[in-house]
Amino acid sequence: MGDTHLDRAVRLDRADRLAGYRDRFVIADPALVYLDGNSLGRLPVATRERLRAVVDTWGTELIGGWDRWIEVNRAAGDVLAGIVGAAAGEVILADSTSVNLYKLACAALAARPGRTVIVTDDDNFPTDRYVLAGIAADRGLTLRMVGTDPDRGIDPAAVTAALDGDVALLCLSHVSYRSGAVADLPALTAAAHEVGALVLWDLCHSAGAVPVGLTAAGADLAVGCTYKYLNGGPGAPAFLYVRADLQTVVRQPIWGWFGQSGQFAMGPSYDPLPDIRRFLVGTPPVLAAYAALEGARLTAEAGVEAIAAKGRALTGYAVDLVDAWLAPLGFRLASPRDPCRRGAHVTLHHPQAWQVCQALKAAGVIPDFRAPDRLRLGMAPLYTRFVDVHSGLSRLRDVVGAGAHEPYPSVPAGIT
């Protein structure tokens, strides 16, 4: 049985047209099975070189480096636009996802005066829920939470039922951080527009993993991070998208000098640029921005459609192994079974998921844990091989089969 699964993995790797991309990353320990690229992507070889070069530029050109650095947010934005199905000039690298979410949510609310409701789902990523709750509290608005099954993802009917003429903004994640479920972005965008609301998509778990198609769906606003599937480095700057025709209509609340027309005239009043740069605020972290740019370039070069196809194949193969090996050991799939409804990670329930997670790390496989009982296995398509999925899941089977997770202490307070 194991041999058959391994044969299949080897065959799939041989046929993989993205296989060569693994060599574009630093693989420090070839024996390690890294299944957490959905939390922090690997280091691209080009990024290491680029960072050396940027640091050298700082050392040698000093302030003169800004002649080129000033363009990095837009350059990265244009690459990212291609990745999320938007046009050049509709995306810019800026701040963190949370700060961008705040900026764009406030901008949306200001564009829908008189409307008093923000809609999101109760399984949305914590920072999204918290940021929206903060805005609602500050402005006396209602945050309407749509109930969502954390294993199945957003139910379009439940969202639609929550939309009415009071809704200013619908804010959802495209791919769920827990289950990996893909929301129906075009249908939900249309549903929001139907009631005259704006829609703000969080693309953190989808950008670089699945096609997003912002332009095709007519999406209004979006944010996302670059440190997961886009391999931009720990805490790399985030990005934001504003549809071209909305850019001069909506206005974000943090009026910083990087959004100003004639920034260095330093004039008396704020007069924001007539393009995507008006959503910038302060001086961008240049080193981190170049790492984000390099990571995004690699994804753009490989192509999101090819990446997504491999992601479906990787997670599909993983689900087969789960059925064959892990279901009998008490694991239960916590992700959609339909590959077209999944991002590039697969999540499993196990009553001792925390202990299993620790034992698996000791066995040279890096997954991650999501409270209270989920093991999340990310299969970033650019560098994850089918044989890695085979190794990771067979080690998981062996660890739990042997009860090697039992001696680990249970999940610490502060995590549940």
Q: Among all residues, which ones are annotated catalytic?
A: 125, 202, 227-228, 376
| Three-state secondary-structure class, residue 202 | strand
Is 249 near a copy of itself (CB under 8 A)?
no
Nearest-angstrom CA–CA distance, 182 and 115? 28
1 binds a copy of itself (CB under 8 A): no
Closer residue to a copy of itself (CB): 64 or 401: 64
Tokens 């009415």 correspond to what residue?
164
Residues in the chain: 416
Distance CA 384, CA 366 (A): 12
Among 11, 15, 66, 351, contact with a copy of itself (rule: CB under 8 A): 66
Nearer to a copy of itself by C-beta: 275 or 320? 275
Residue 39 in contact with a copy of itself, rule: CB under 8 A: yes
Determine which residue in the list 30, 114, 403, 414 makes contact with a copy of itself, applying CB under 8 A.
Answer: 414
Kindly state whether residue 291 participates in binding a copy of itself, applying the rule CB under 8 A. yes
d(CA 197, CA 128): 18
Residue 100 CB, shortest distance to a copy of itself, in Å, is 8
Work out whether 98 is an interface residue with a copy of itself (CB under 8 A). Answer: yes
List the strands of the sheet with 142-146, edge to edge. 91-93, 239-242, 221-224, 198-202, 167-173, 117-121, 142-146
Q: Which is nearer to a copy of itself, 100 or 160 (CB)?
A: 100
At its nearest, how many Å lie between a copy of itself and the CB of residue 234? 4
C-beta separation of 237 from 285 below 8 A: yes
Q: Would you give the distance in Å from CA 192 to the centre of its chain?
A: 22
Residue 29 binds to a copy of itself (criterion: CB under 8 A): yes
Give the pairing type, strands 374-378 and 368-370: antiparallel
Q: Are 94 and 201 in contact (CB under 8 A)?
A: no
Alpha-helical runs (H) found in 168-326: 185-194, 214-217, 286-302, 304-321
* Residue from 191, 198, 230, 238 in contact with a copy of itself (CB under 8 A): 238
Q: Name the H helices within 237-303.
A: 286-302
Q: How far is the CB of 282 from a copy of itself (least distance, A)?
A: 3
Residue 255 sits in the site that holds a copy of itself (CB under 8 A): yes
Output 191 or 389, the one with its CB closest to a copy of itself: 389
Question: What's the closest the beta carbon of residue 189 comes to a copy of itself, in angstroms?
Answer: 24
Three-state DSSP class for 160?
helix
Per-residue DSSP letters for 161-196? HH--TTEEEEEEESB-TTT-BBP-HHHHHHHHHHTT
60 scored as a contact of a copy of itself (CB under 8 A): yes
Task: Please give the backbone phi and psi of residue 143, each rounded to the nearest 5 degrees, phi first.
Answer: -100, 110
Give the shortest CB-292-to-a copy of itself separation in angstroms.
9
Is 268 an interacting residue with respect to a copy of itself (CB under 8 A)? yes
Positive or negative CA dihedral for 305, 306, 312, 315? negative
DSSP H helices in 18-125: 45-61, 66-69, 72-83, 97-110
Of residues 198 and 217, the one with the C-beta less far from a copy of itself:
198
410 binds a copy of itself (CB under 8 A): no
- Report helix, strand or coil for 303: coil
Burial, 267: exposed, middle or buried (Cβ in 10 Å; 0-12, 13-18, 19+)?
exposed
Q: Is 221 helix (H, G, I), strand (E, B) or coil?
A: strand
C-beta closer to a copy of itself: residue 110 or 190: 110
Smallest gap from Cβ 215 to a copy of itself, in A, equals: 26
Residue 36 as a binder of a copy of itself (CB under 8 A): the answer is yes
Q: Does 42 bind a copy of itself (CB under 8 A)?
A: yes
Going 204 to 206 to 209 to 213, the CA torsion angle's sign is negative
Which residues within the stretch 308-337 sit at the binding site for a copy of itself (CB under 8 A)?
Answer: none
Q: State which of residues 2, 11, 64, 142 lies at the interface with a copy of itself (CB under 8 A).
A: 64
Binding a copy of itself (rule: CB under 8 A), the pick from 273, 287, 306, 324 is 287
Q: What is the largest CA-CA distance in the chain?
A: 73
Q: How far is the CB of 55 from a copy of itself (least distance, A)?
A: 6
Residues 368-387 that bind a copy of itself (CB under 8 A): 368, 370-371
Select the residue interacting with a copy of itself from 135, 141, 159, 307 (CB under 8 A): 135
Q: Which is nearer to a copy of itself, 61 or 194 (CB)?
A: 61
Under the binding rule (CB under 8 A), the answer on residue 126 touching a copy of itself is yes
Q: How far is the CB of 369 from a copy of itself (least distance, A)?
A: 9
- Cβ atoms of 179 and 153 closer than 8 Å: yes
